[in-house]
């Protein structure tokens, strides 16, 4: 049959990989959006600051405080999210597309999701572009308007995801979060620190601690 011949020539391999990539992207989306991002539980003690590493540069006069909303003892780098109604460990930001916070437990999966999504968009953009052949006529525009709009939409999403991924990787390489980067002047443990970023341990170690 024609399908067997296409399989023998390897023509079905690329569409299969693309479908698997899209499926992986969808599964990652639901995983990141539905999982616990690192909510601070009421029964946890303030000393149980998991995954933060040794931070000797933080001044001793900075005291960990009790959250004014959910009344739990906030570990270092935690922040209360009013949309989730929880304090989140190593809070990065609340993502409106995921309807969930990005924090200590799902941050690395969020980066993987962005990377897979970028791959899907680049591949989809390539497919859309390869299907376009340009002619300066109204008839051409009528026949290709859907494909052209699809390509432009994919291009916009690709730029957004690429910029977000690059920004996230930069912050990870500095061992800081979006919240700390944007509002460092309002965060007590950064205000009283002698260093601009007391968590930075070098690019290689920062990346190793985050992903491994």
CB 171 within 8 A of CB 199: no
Contacts with 82 (C-beta within 8 Å, 6 or more apart), sequence order: 69
Encode burial over 165-178: b for 16+ CB neighbours within 10 A, e otherwise. beebeebbebbbbb
The encoded tokens of residue 202 equal 């070098």
First vs last C-alpha separation in the chain: 48
The active-site residue out of 84, 95, 167, 174 is 95
CB 69 within 8 A of CB 42: no
Question: Angle at CA 20, nearest 5°, toward 19 and 22?
Answer: 65
Dist. CA 97–CA 101, nearest whole Å: 10
Give the distance, in angstroms, between the CA of residue 109 and the centroid of all CA atoms in the same chain. Answer: 7
95 is catalytic: yes
Angle between helices 203-211 and 138-173 (to 10 degrees): 100
Give the distance, in angstroms, between the CA of residue 139 and the centroid of all CA atoms in the same chain. Answer: 42
CB 157 within 8 A of CB 121: yes
Cite the active site residues: 95
């Amino acid at each position: 049959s024609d399908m067997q011949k296409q399989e023998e020539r390897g023509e079905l391999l690329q569409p299969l990989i693309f479908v698997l990539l899209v499926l992986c992207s969808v599964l990652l989306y639901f995983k990141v959006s539905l999982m616990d991002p690192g909510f601070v539980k009421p029964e946890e003690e303030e000393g149980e600051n998991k995954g933060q590493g040794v931070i000797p540069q933080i001044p001793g006069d900075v005291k960990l405080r009790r959250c004014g909303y959910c009344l739990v003892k906030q570990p270092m780098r935690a922040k209360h999210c009013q949309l989730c109604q929880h304090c989140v460990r190593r809070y990065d930001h609340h993502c409106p597309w995921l309807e969930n916070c990005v924090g200590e437990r799902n941050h690395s999966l969020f980066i993987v999701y962005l990377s897979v999504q970028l791959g899907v968009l680049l591949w989809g953009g390539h497919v859309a572009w390869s299907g376009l052949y340009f002619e300066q006529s109204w008839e051409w525009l009528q026949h290709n308007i859907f494909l052209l709009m699809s390509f432009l939409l994919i291009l916009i999403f690709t730029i957004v995801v690429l910029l977000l991924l690059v920004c996230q990787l930069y912050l990870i390489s500095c061992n800081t979060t979006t919240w700390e980067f944007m509002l460092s002047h309002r965060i007590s443990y950064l205000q009283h620190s002698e260093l601009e970023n007391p968590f930075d341990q070098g690019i290689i170690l920062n990346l190793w601690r985050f992903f491994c």
